[in-house]
Amino acid sequence: MPILELEFEVFCSCGAGLCGNSQEGHSRHSQYITVEPCQNCLDQKYEEGVDHGYENYRKEMEEN
């Protein structure tokens, strides 16, 4: 089986570098790379979820 070596950098869609958020590994038949989202995007999505929940609760209370 041929060996292929790659060097690359991983960036989030927001532009943040994800060097510490990616890991490489291998399974029985293949190699793989896993990439986690950056903390900035996780925080942003958390805030969006909190805001969404608050708005839904407020609408419910206004209807009752």
pLDDT in tens, 24-53: 888 888 888 888 888 888 899 899 998 888
Residue 47 covered by a domain: yes
What is the spatial distance between Cα 9 and Cα 3, in angstroms, rounded to a whole number?
20
Q: What is the pTM of this model?
A: 0.56
Residue 51 covered by a domain: yes
Q: What is the reported pLDDT for 46?
A: 92
Q: Is the pLDDT of residue 1 over 70?
A: no
The domain total for the chain is: 1
What's at 3, amino acid-wise?
Answer: I
Q: Give me the phi and psi of 37, to 5 degrees please.
A: -65, 160
Residue 9 covered by a domain: no
Looking at per-residue confidence, does 43 or 20 come out higher? 43
- Print the domain residue range for 60: 38-64
